[in-house]
Homo-oligomer: A and B are copies of this chain.
Amino acid sequence: RAHIIVLGNEKGGSGKSTSAMHLVVALLEQGRRVATIDLDGRQRTLTRYLENRARAAAEGANLLLPSYAVVTRSEIADFHGAQADERQRFLSVLEDYVGRHDVVIIDCPGSDSFLSRLAHGCADTLLTPMNDSFIDLDLIARVDPDDHSILGPSLYAELVWEMRKRRALTGGTVDWLVMRNRVGHLDARNKRRVSEVLARLAKRIGFRVVAGLSERVTYRELFLQGLTMLDLGRTGSSLTMSEVAARQEVRTLVASLDLPPVGR
């Protein structure tokens, strides 16, 4: 049965889809069978990235591809009917994928939705990217402006807490990882302050902080071609220093997921 990784953060633009895409390529490179489920039926960033990749592959590029699907929000007007419809379609795609892949990566939208909550409730690993910012932190916990003490959990931490309890009912556990994304090199004071609060929050709320991704144009420049910097090395073209560093960041991230060995 596949390991399920959910990219979750109600905060928009925190890097869920970008992280998901780079994990997909890195895990495929490791020889794993990978599938993705896109729960952002409107924007479909991950799916469009993969469609761009499929087009490049069809045009001759030697690229590994995952299985991929989109689960859209229900059009049913009745509240309970819509949820039943979403649950049925989501579980149907998920059950199909977990039986014939090693990893299923689920990309959530940047807003609260029933589908997103379903995904959070079935995650083996929940990966939450966030900007190196007290604005992003504000969705996880309220922080005192003077001494940075933690005043209490915010919406997203409460959502995760609730879905974790639900998962515990079936004996499951969730490995919750929080990673910073788009980290700059010039923000020493802010970076230190955010790290310090995150470290305390990790103990209190129950997640572990993992090394994330720097702000690098290579993480966003290859979207139309469906490529990542992990793919660039193979064409024989030489990489920039930033691309080499990005490859290392992605591989460090994959290692921190602590997945079962390949091919079990």
Contacts and interface: CB of A to CB of B under 8 A. Distances in A.
Interface of A: 10-14, 17-18, 42-43, 45, 48-49, 52, 55-56, 77, 79, 109-112, 131, 133-135, 138-139, 143, 145, 155, 182, 184, 186-187, 189-190, 193, 215, 217, 220-221, 223-226
Contact of A224 (B12, B134, B184, B217): B134
B45 A13 contact: no
B186 A135 contact: no
A226 to B, nearest CB: 8
A93 B166 CA distance: 39
A217 B186 contact: yes
The SS class assigned to the A binding surface is loop
A52 B146 CA distance: 11
Contacts of A52: 145
Contacts of A138: 43, 45, 48, 223
B221 A189 contact: yes
Contact of A11 (B18, B43, B131, B134): B43
Given A133-B223, A215-B215, A217-B184, A13 B14 contact: yes
A3 to B, nearest CB: 26
A74 to B, nearest CB: 13
Given A13-B131, A42-B112, A215-B215, 20 more contacts: A11-B12, A11-B13, A12-B111, A18-B135, A43-B139, A48-B138, A49-B135, A52-B145, A110-B111, A131-B220, A133-B220, A134-B223, A134-B224, A135-B220, A186-B217, A187-B217, A189-B221, A190-B217, A190-B221, A193-B221
A223 B135 contact: yes
Contacts of A14: 12-13
A133 B77 CA distance: 35
Q: Across chains A and B, which 5 residue pairs bring their CB atoms closest together, nearest first?
A: A12-B12, A13-B13, A12-B110, A111-B111, A145-B224
Given A79-B77, A145-B52, A135 B17 contact: yes
Contacts of A111: 12, 109-111
A112 B113 CA distance: 12
Contacts of A45: 135, 138
A42 to B, nearest CB: 6
Nearest to A226: B145
A145 to B, nearest CB: 4
Nearest to A12: B12
A190 B220 contact: yes
A110 B143 contact: no
